[in-house]
Structure 1
């Protein structure tokens, strides 16, 4: 899977998670940018931040939209035609940074450590996103399992609204946000984001476990 020119990702785009956290349903897509150094692929190893005071790192399994044609200022119908297909995303996050400085939420830093934007293993077209489920398995245990139909904004709405602000180019990636079940990772863990019809995106977090070490 080719590296995107831009990697955008949504926050607070699932009704169940918004209700659990007491967040209001947004009036428009709320999104941030994942920088190119954060890109990682299937079966890659991602190391924890070098700064040990950053805090715990969470996995976030998500559906990713891959743009197939240039779009700027499109409506929803046009946006649908701009979607080349879908992929799996693991939007790794150091959430403690978001509130560490009360004057400035550090979204870029929290989301953009090296390797924190995992995607793959393939881009698949012809899928009905409403029928898809995102499942995250960590060290063999299911931790997230939620329906994409619970999105606040559909993929076409996401693309259309973002295209009013930012011209999207072929290969650009937009992560649709996550739902309930995101938890901190232990070093040595293996995270698998699974979406039927797309496949499994595997991320190895931290140093490889020694042989014989307990999971």
Structure 2
């Protein structure tokens, strides 16, 4: 199942089930409206349906408390910065105010001159959880989506910690929807690509993560409680690089869709 948040004809954001041609359904390329919040409990179809081309997709989830992100989780990415893989997952936080959706602009702040894209697989948490063993990680996962861990590379080096460099408003694009039918093993074996203005930049597999999805959940929940709607960014592969105002960056993960955002200068 693919769950999106969308806006139709200037209305308020609503949840819907995305129906694509590969689903072999009767209504391809549409979104069927559902009532309520799927992260909060059961939902029902309302009977409304819109063509995907007629709605504007927004972030499929607004984290209720936090985005937990993982650094250096691909050996090739660590190597491209002359770094080593950490002995245990390297965790940092992004504020929930950094989250934007598909098509929304990544804002290039005046404090940086080296803004980078980082395409990533994101996990959406579905229930309150603490100290989850790896073998039970699937029980707390609601689904998966595509992310871009936008980073001011120069501020990251200057500050020697990552809160400002990765925490600006608009620095956590998510979308286009949440895919709920994958197991951690399935999500841990997907093809990820990033393009800048249509030119390939990143091309890798989530199977190359140093710490797989169950281990990440076990580690994160060993020190903090995760809430429904919290998001985990699982790290980026090699090939990250700069982007400028006027550019367009797209992150694609097989089976999860493509997340595209323009880059604009801050007014």
Q: TM-score, normalised by structure 1?
A: 0.89
Q: CA deviation at 1:66?
A: 0.8
- Give 1:96's aligned residue: 154
Question: 1:153: how far off?
Answer: 0.6
In the TM superposition, what are the counterparts of 1:154-169 in structure 2 within 5 Å?
154-169=212-227
Give, in angstroms, the shift of residue 70 of structure 1.
1.3
Match of 2:167 among 91, 102, 112: 112
Give the secondary-structure state (helix, strand or coil) at the position aligned to 1:86: strand
1:140 aligns with 2:198: yes
The correspondence of residues 1-215 of structure 1 with structure 2, limited to 5 A, is: 1-5=60-64, 6-51=66-111, 54-101=112-159, 105-127=160-182, 128-206=186-264
Unaligned runs of 5+ in 2: 1-59
Query: What 5-or-longer segments of structure 1 have no aligned partner?
Result: 208-215
Deviation at 1:81, TM superposition (A): 1.4
TM-score after normalising by structure 2: 0.72
Distance apart, 1:7 and its partner CA: 0.5
CA displacement at 1:25 relative to structure 2 = 2.4
Q: Using CA pairs below 8 Å that are at least 6 residues apart, which structure has the higher relative contact order?
A: 1
Inter-partner Cα distance in structure 2 for 1:202 and 1:32? 24
The Cα of 1:37 is off from its aligned counterpart by 2.2
Q: Deviations over 1:128-150 (max 9, x none)?
A: 02320111111111111110000
Residue 28 of structure 1 and its aligned partner are, at CA, apart by 1.4
In the TM superposition, what is the alpha-carbon distance from 1:117 to its structure 2 partner? 0.8
DSSP-derived class of the 2:241 partner: coil
Q: Distance in 1 between matches of 2:157 and 2:61?
A: 34
CA displacement 1:145-176 (0-9 Å, x = unmatched): 11000001111110111001110011110000
Separation in structure 1 between the aligned mates of residue 61 and residue 234 of structure 2, nearest angstrom: 19
Look up the match of 1:213. none
| Structure richer in strand, relative to its length | 2
Aligned residues: 202
User: Per-residue deviation at 1:2?
Assistant: 2.2
- Give the match's secondary structure for 1:123: strand
Query: What's the CA shift for 1:106?
Result: 3.5
Aligned to 2:163, what secondary structure does the other structure show? Answer: helix
- For the residue of structure 2 that corresponds to 1:120, the secondary structure is strand
Q: What is the rounded CA distance, in whole Å, between the counterparts of 2:90 and 2:223 in structure 1?
A: 12
